[in-house]
Amino acid sequence: TKWVYTFAKGKAEGRADMKELLGGKGANLAEMSSLGIPVPAGFTMTTEVCTHFYDNDRTYPQDLEEQVLTALAEIEVHMDAKFGDAKAPLLVSVRSGARASMPGMMDTVLNLGLNDETVEGLAQQSGDTRFAYDSYRRFIQMYSDVVLGVDHYIFEELLEYYKDEKDYSLDTDLTGEDWKSLCDQYKEKVLEEMDEDFPQDPKVQLWGAVGAVFKSWMNARANTYRILHNIPAEWGTAVNIQAMVFGNMGEDCATGVCFTRNPSTGDKHFYGEYLINAQGEDVVAGIRTPQPLTIYEKEESGSKLPSMEEVMPKTFAELVTYRNKLEAHYKDMQDMEFTIQKDTLWMLQTRVGKRTTKAALKMAVDMCEEGLITKEEAVMRLDPHSLDQLLHPTLDPDAPRDVISRALPASPGAATGRIVFSAEDAEKWVKRKEEVILVRTETSPEDIGGMHVAEGILTTRGGMTSHAAVVARGMGTPCVSGAGDMRVDYKARTLTSFDGKVLAEGDVITLDGSNGEVILGTVPTIQPELSGDFAKLMHWADDIRELGVRTNAETPSDAEMARKLGAEGIGLCRTEHMFFEHARINYVREMILADDERKRREALGHILPFQRQDFEELFQIMEGLPLTIRLLDPPLHEFLPHSEHDMEEVAKIANMSVEGVKERAAELAEQNPMLGHRGCRLGITYPEIYEMQTRAIFEAACKVTKAGGKPVMPEIMIPLVAMNAELERLKVVVQNTAKEVCEAEGLEIDYMVGTMIELPRACLRAGEIAQAAEFFSFGTNDLTQTTYGLSRDDAGRFLRVYQEKGVINVDPFVSIDQDGVGELVQMGAERGRQTRPDIKLGICGEHGGDPASVAFCHKIGLSYVSCSPYRVPIARLAAAQAAL
């Protein structure tokens, strides 16, 4: 088996499309090398080695070592150096690289191959003792931390102590001799902690590091990340071994990270950070403040530090050519890592960059208009779920703000919450239903859980590419980073602002992730902008999709919002919600308490004008778009009063005794109301209720029509039908009432009568039900409940356990159970179409706004989905993606 793939100088055995085998980093290093971009020579050990490692008791395949030695020999030739050689030592980095990028999850070891002997060789060869020992101490620390498990802070303490002793303030104050004596201290410490010398044999170091990468695949934080991001453990990670290039050899050296476009705003500006005379993770570690890459960015951010464009113009220009080449090649925004050794530029990584939703939208639209990608590709670039972020309110720019710090706008959006100082506390507080802002000096991968639940994240150290910033952007969580003028005191649990304001745990702050402000207390918000790029992309999606998208709405404000968000009608108007309004609930109760039809009709007569008014407004808002109105559905006792006071009030209105009210309420109570006297069963027993509702609908329709509005399109929906006989009877009630109203008004109104399909029997007998029904709307909430025999109001308690134990992957109330409930829907749709080929088929309920469920609806050929107003854009995009 081929376990090892090499790359060097314009050649490579791997390719970008081999991510499964080579991991993301390895595949892209190979691709860059083939494109003629300078990449230090190296090789990738495949993910199959990782799988083998775990399948075989943590051992390697037999022929691996030989392949590694051959590949290493090739690097030696390219670099004109030898691994372990005392005079010209080859140093390598050992880098993990999974298929999907897992930022910060796995550890990289740099400068591997250094020991007491080779460090001297490096010093002589480079003529720079300081550089050699700086590299050695970095290596000892990283290797000890990652491979031997000696915590890095032990070394940092030694360094701090050393600096104090010598009265140094910066790392750059240390001389070669200083680093050398620190290296000795470091090694002693390792001996002390491990009872073993720091390994001097480069081969032992190499296999130690390789083993550590494979083992880190299963460490706790990698496991957490995988669970959060649905990455299967079986994938495994690859290992990349690559010749070192040095950014820490002097002032003509540097290291940095950059993005082909701004990952936060999406602007088409080259964007990044770099540090002179630094190595590896220094930029993201937040130890020194990184410098801006470009002059533009320097001016934008008001940074006083010189940009790379000014300091190293030639190398910068070269970097720009790679930026252009890589973006054109991958046709997407790239996140790149580079190092400059003595004015020579080396590219160390490229990958499709993580971005905010706002940036993803802008880039998709821009790239399409630049001709880089097609409309279809642009539509595929956004995760429908993420649209949610664009639709949510932002801080009102005109509202007063008590700004206590201005720092980096690391991840956009507004967040308000109570201050907590640890990820653990964040999780605890959120369990108690508090909204929190996680405040840290900096974050690390162990904090993932807390970062996930926090409303926002604030750090006092680190740049735009720090751990906090990258992870927050990925999660869509607002983040402000590098608030250097604030101080965190973990012990006292306080946050102190530059002017001495002391905030305690639990105090409320607001973060503006779009401009980096930290604000005391809360700030009013404003509605988002739905025009511009958003409208463009949505328009492209609309051209592609085949499914219609409607909304579930009963209030005028919801209906208006839904239309702004692109709803093509109302798929579900739940009339019972209209009954609860203050002015009418008492009439509704009177109607329920009535013991004969006459009294019931009297009460209904009072409700009629209210109900007519409701429909009038909705018809006006929908301007001729279809409006599916579901007649009364819930069990009547849901409307009855519970408190003594309310009972008395109802008794008065209904002209009854309080006792009488209580008795009637007890009579109506059911053991199992969700399977009880509700839906069409109410219509059958009290047809006068449906009669009143139908009258209200048609009187409203006539009124709006007479006022010169567009023709209204009522679709009257009978809920909870199990048998065609139920529907047929109720259809007659609707038809007679409609006819009566229309004749009286002298108008003709087009309408349909259909049913909600939400019982398994209805799916089975759909062929028959379609004789009366002109449309079906699959009520998948109730259908899930009745198919599983699972109460949707109580299931939360144990469904979570089911998920944790892996019995189910997703909650069937969130994403439709395609195998079971889905099969019933499909069967219902097919049988319905057999009877009535042009039957209109839709779904309403939570699933209508879930991208996976929308894709399912597309697949089985429904006409539309209907969802809550804010999910309308999600459904539009998901429907377009399903059609591609």
Least CB distance to ligand ADP at residue 225 (A): 12
Q: Which partner in ligand ADP, Mg ion, none is near 110 (CB below 5 to 8 A by kind)?
A: ligand ADP
Distances (CA, A) of 210 to 142, 454, 856: 13, 35, 43
Least CB distance to ligand ADP at residue 115 (A): 18
Least CB distance to ligand ADP at residue 111 (A): 9
| Ligand-binding site membership of 781 (annotated) | yes
Q: What is the DSSP letter of 207?
A: H
d(CA 105, CA 224) in angstroms, rounded, equals 10
Least CB distance to ligand ADP at residue 49 (A): 17
Q: Which of 52, 253, 467, 479 is catalytic?
A: 467
Q: Which partner in ligand ADP, Mg ion, none is near 650 (CB below 5 to 8 A by kind)?
A: none
Q: Which partner in Mg ion, ligand ADP, none is near 93 (CB below 5 to 8 A by kind)?
A: ligand ADP
Q: Which partner in ligand ADP, Mg ion, none is near 281 (CB below 5 to 8 A by kind)?
A: ligand ADP
Nearest to 673 by CA among 645, 634, 722: 634
d(CA 833, CA 826) in angstroms, rounded, equals 11
Please report how many Cα atoms fall inside a 13 Å half-sphere around the Cα of residue 585, on the Cβ side.
13
Identified binder of ligand ADP from the candidate list 134, 145, 273, 337, rule CB under 6 A: 337
d(CA 269, CA 271) in angstroms, rounded, equals 6
Scan residues 775-804 and list those touching Mg ion (CB under 5 A). Answer: 779, 782
Terminal Cα-to-Cα distance of the chain (whole angstroms) = 38
With CB under 6 A as the rule, give the number of residues binding ligand ADP.
17
Identified binder of ligand ADP from the candidate list 28, 108, 777, 863, rule CB under 6 A: 108
Cβ contacts of 736 within 8 Å, gap of 6 or more: none
Q: Considering only the stretches 53-61, 336-344, 533-541, 804-812, report the one whose residues sit in contact with Mg ion under the rule CB under 5 A.
A: 336-344
> 700-703, long-range: CB within 8 Å, 24+ apart, which pairs?
700/612, 700/613, 700/614, 700/615, 700/616, 700/619, 701/615, 701/619, 701/749, 701/751, 702/741, 702/742, 702/745, 702/747, 702/749, 703/612, 703/616
Q: Which partner in Mg ion, ligand ADP, none is near 571 (CB below 5 to 8 A by kind)?
A: none
Identified binder of Mg ion from the candidate list 265, 349, 693, 826, rule CB under 5 A: 349
Q: What is the DSSP letter of 677?
A: S
Displacement of CA 692 from its chain's centroid (Å): 46
Binding mask 83-102 for ligand ADP (x = CB under 6 A): ----------x-x-------
Select 364 or 718, whichever has its Cβ closest to Mg ion.
718
467 catalytic per annotation? yes
Q: Which of 50, 258, 844, 867 is catalytic?
A: 844
| Ligand-binding site membership of 871 (annotated) | no
| Ligand-binding site membership of 234 (annotated) | no
C-beta separation of 588 from 607 below 8 A: yes
Select 113 or 683, whichever has its Cβ closest to ligand ADP.
113
With CB under 5 A as the rule, give the number of residues binding Mg ion.
5
Identified binder of ligand ADP from the candidate list 144, 260, 339, 863, rule CB under 6 A: 339
Scan residues 571-600 and list those touching ligand ADP (CB under 6 A). Answer: none
Distances (CA, A) of 432 to 426, 453, 480, 801: 10, 12, 25, 19
d(CA 731, CA 691) in angstroms, rounded, equals 11
> 795-802, long-range: CB within 8 Å, 24+ apart, which pairs?
none
Amino acid in the structure at residue 769: I
Is there binding between residue 110 and ligand ADP (CB under 6 A)? yes
Cβ contacts of 104 within 8 Å, gap of 6 or more: 284, 444, 445, 467, 470, 471
Amino acid in the structure at residue 753: V
Cβ contacts of 398 within 8 Å, gap of 6 or more: none
Select 40 or 873, whichever has its Cβ closest to ligand ADP.
40
Scan residues 213-242 and list those touching ligand ADP (CB under 6 A). Answer: 242
Least CB distance to ligand ADP at residue 254 (A): 10
Is there binding between residue 465 and ligand ADP (CB under 6 A)? no
Select 337 or 817, whichever has its Cβ closest to ligand ADP.
337
DSSP string, 143-156: HIIIII---HHHHH
Q: What is the DSSP letter of 673?
A: G
d(CA 209, CA 75) in angstroms, rounded, equals 18
Q: Which partner in ligand ADP, Mg ion, none is near 40 (CB below 5 to 8 A by kind)?
A: ligand ADP
Select 90 or 479, whichever has its Cβ closest to ligand ADP.
90
Select 42 or 849, whichever has its Cβ closest to ligand ADP.
42
| Ligand-binding site membership of 108 (annotated) | no
Least CB distance to Mg ion at residue 768 (A): 20
Strand bridging mode 456-459 / 840-844:
unpaired
253 catalytic per annotation? no
Query: Residues of 167-179 as b/e, b for ≥16 C-beta within 10 angstroms?
Result: eeeebeebeeebb
Select 142 or 454, whichever has its Cβ closest to ligand ADP.
142
Identified binder of ligand ADP from the candidate list 118, 349, 466, 611, rule CB under 6 A: 349
Residue 138, classed as helix, strand or coil, is: helix
Scan residues 276-305 and list those touching ligand ADP (CB under 6 A). Answer: 280-281
Distances (CA, A) of 112 to 3, 130, 200, 207, 534: 21, 17, 10, 11, 49
Strand bridging mode 109-112 / 403-406:
unpaired
DSSP string, 284-341: HHTSSPPEESSHHHHHHHT--SPPHHHHSHHHHHHHHHHHHHHHHHHTS-EEEEEEEE
| Ligand-binding site membership of 630 (annotated) | yes
Q: Which partner in Mg ion, ligand ADP, none is near 242 (CB below 5 to 8 A by kind)?
A: ligand ADP
Is there binding between residue 443 and Mg ion (CB under 5 A)? no
Least CB distance to ligand ADP at residue 280 (A): 3
Is there binding between residue 206 and ligand ADP (CB under 6 A)? no
Closest residue to Mg ion: CB criterion: 782
Is there binding between residue 104 and ligand ADP (CB under 6 A)? yes
Is there binding between residue 52 and ligand ADP (CB under 6 A)? no
Please report how many Cα atoms fall inside a 13 Å half-sphere around the Cα of residue 835, on the Cβ side.
20
Q: Which partner in ligand ADP, Mg ion, none is near 782 (CB below 5 to 8 A by kind)?
A: Mg ion
d(CA 246, CA 252) in angstroms, rounded, equals 11
Identified binder of ligand ADP from the candidate list 32, 206, 348, 734, rule CB under 6 A: 348
Least CB distance to Mg ion at residue 105 (A): 11
For the annotated binding site for substrate, the residues are 574, 630, 758, 779-782
For the annotated binding site for Mg(2+), the residues are 758, 782
Instruction: Show which residues are catalytic.
Output: 467, 844
For the annotated binding site, the residues are 574, 630, 758, 779-782
Binding site for ligand ADP (CB under 6 A): 40, 93, 95, 104, 108, 110, 242-245, 255, 280-281, 337, 339, 348-349
Binding site for Mg ion (CB under 5 A): 337, 349, 758, 779, 782
